[in-house]
Structure 1
Amino acid sequence: MRKKVVIFDWGDTVMRDFSEFSGPMVDWPRVEIIDGIEESLALISSQFITCLASNAGNSNAELMGLALERVGIRGYFTHLFTSKELGYNKPDSNFFKEIISRIGVNPSECIMIGNDYERDIVSSKMAGMETILYTEKRIEEPKQLADFVIRSMNDLIHLLNTWGD
């Protein structure tokens, strides 16, 4: 089935998560995007419904959107979802099932991209999605439920352009 939706995790997948800051990211003294994400989003958002999904304990979707505006990438996302609005937290697969329901697509039409194997990859796979694990680190042990592993957001563009070939 053709892919229609790309769902990104927020922290350390789209935006750098600085552990030294607390509270909503929009209020942090410094916010920063992951290298290559803006170029990737520019291409991906023209071909797919693009969503952001996060547990974001200190932010709701509105605050998440304001943080994205600070770095100029809010316009690339069709939907923003946080656990506050969804009523579920990752790694509960119902987090992803609720997103699928709200968008109105089949799980097989969705790709989840995240940096946390258990919370992002395992739980979205259990919801029926295909998965891409993003990690800047070298992976030592196999991650069977990740359909693909990328170490750079620039790799994402190529991967999505060739998906299903």
Structure 2
Amino acid sequence: MFDWGDTLMVDTPGQTGPMCDWPTVQAVDGAKACLQRLSRFSPCHLATNAEDSTEMQIRLALKRAGLSDYIQRIFCRENLGMGKTDADYYVAITEKLNVIPESITMVGDSLERDVQQAIKAGLKAVWFNPKNTQIQSNYTIITQLDKLI
């Protein structure tokens, strides 16, 4: 099972409000191909820290980017009642999915919010690091989403 952070969509600087209302909504390079492949073998869900979007608005943004068909469930502030900085965020997701934490791999672009928090909650994690930021770590790191396939 794969859980995606805000890794799938391009966060356009200067845009505010729900992403579904932005003039342009686009997927990160390789996101669609990666989801097409992975979703055939394992459920894919989205865990986002979006503060100003409802689950329905997030689904609409995913549709605009051509990704909605590959995402089963969306977890956000609206339906969890908390954000990624809350220690129980990933625990709440595993409870809602009724799975053990080790069965989920979190793929995220934030080392602190996605990878480290997910690992603390018992999930596996992959850091999507497209800028190839160099750090000493034992984390699994990819710089392109097609490397996940």
The aligned residue for residue 162 of structure 1 is none
Partner in structure 2 of residue 41 of structure 1: 35
The answer to whether the aligner puts 1:137 opposite 2:139 as a matched pair is no
Find the counterpart in structure 2 of residue 109 from structure 1: 103
Aligned to 1:155: 147
Q: Which runs of 5+ in 1 are unaligned?
A: 158-165
For 2:72 and 2:89, the matched residues in 1 are separated by 18
Determine the structure 2 residue equivalent to 1:21.
Answer: 15
Q: Over aligned residue pairs, what C-alpha RMSD do you find?
A: 1.0
TM-score by length of 1: 0.87
Asked if structure 1 preserves the Cα contact closer than 8 Å seen for 2:3 and 2:107, the reply is yes
CA deviations 1:83-121 (Å, max 9, x no partner) are: 221012112231111010000100010100000000001
Deviation at 1:47, TM superposition (A): 0.7
Q: Structure 1 segments of 4 or more deviating over 4 A?
A: none
Residues 113-164 of structure 1: CA deviation (Å, up to 9, x unaligned): 00000000111001101110001112222233x2x1000011010xxxxxxx
In structure 2, the residue matched to 1:7 is 3
Q: Is the 8 A contact 1:52 1:80 kept in 2?
A: yes
Whole-angstrom distance in 2 between the partners of 1:96 and 1:36? 25
Contact between 2:26 and 2:64, CA under 8 Å: does it hold in 1?
A: no
TM-score (norm 2): 0.96
